[in-house]
Structure 1
Amino acid sequence: MKYFLCKYLPPRPDFLATMTTEERDLMKRHGDYMNELLARGVIVAHGPVIDPAGSYGVSLYQIADDQDIAAFTSEDPVVKHGVGHYEHFDMLTLKSRG
């Protein structure tokens, strides 16, 4: 297995306060996508981080050795529509309460 911390960076620091109607719809689809990956066991946890300098999202992935993390994050509706991007960080291990 491989483990990643992924950071979703929205297109602007005040994104949560200034989302357009289209962006709100995409964020709902983003949440649905993340919850689907959570239900499938691909994501261990995910959620928004409120930061005065600019909020962002965090997700913890646990994927098979032959899978590519970018294949998952590139399918996120917000990324597919050009509303932000992800940074991927390798983790040596991931332990969770199970």
Structure 2
Amino acid sequence: MEEFVYLIKPVRKDFIETMTEEESGIMEIHFHYLNALLSDEKLILAGPCLDGAFGIVVFRAETMDAAREIMVNDPAVLHGLMSAEIHPYRVSLIQPR
């Protein structure tokens, strides 16, 4: 398995402050989607910047095409709440828990 990172950015600057009820529901589904990747041992880490500028998802996939499919099926991306870009990645250092 290869490692990848995708960056997600809200499509509007004040997204966190102005999220509608529908958008909030989609973001909850986004969280569950990432949690399922964690359960499948594909997700390495994920989280947002606290200023709302962007979030990152570091994960494993068999190929770039498989990784891109994971990214485009993220509900936040799929429903147009977040733009996304993907890159090959390598976790070089990580603090054990």
Q: Same fold (TM over 0.5)?
A: yes
Structure 1 residue 65, shift from structure 2 partner: 3.8
The equivalences for 1:82-93 within 5 A come to: 82-91=80-89, 93=90
The equivalences for 1:7-86 within 5 A come to: 7-51=7-51, 54-65=52-63, 68-86=66-84
- Aligned-pair identity in percent equals 29
Q: CA RMSD in A?
A: 1.9
Please list every run of 5 or more consecutive structure 2 residues that lacks an aligned counterpart in the other structure: none
SS at match of 1:68: helix
TM-score (norm: length of structure 1): 0.83
SS at match of 1:50: coil
SS at match of 1:70: helix
SS at match of 1:41: coil
Greater shift in the superposed pair: 34-43 or 76-85 = 76-85
TM-score (norm: length of structure 2): 0.84
State the 4+ residue runs in structure 1 displaced beyond 4 angstroms.
Answer: none
Determine the C-alpha separation between the residues in 2 that align with 1:16 and 1:66. Answer: 30
Please list every run of 5 or more consecutive structure 1 residues that lacks an aligned counterpart in the other structure: none
Greater shift in the superposed pair: 59-68 or 5-14 = 59-68
Over residues 22-71 of structure 1, what are the superposed CA-to-partner deviations in whole Å (9 max), with x where a residue is unaligned?
100000000010111011111111111123xx522111111224752110
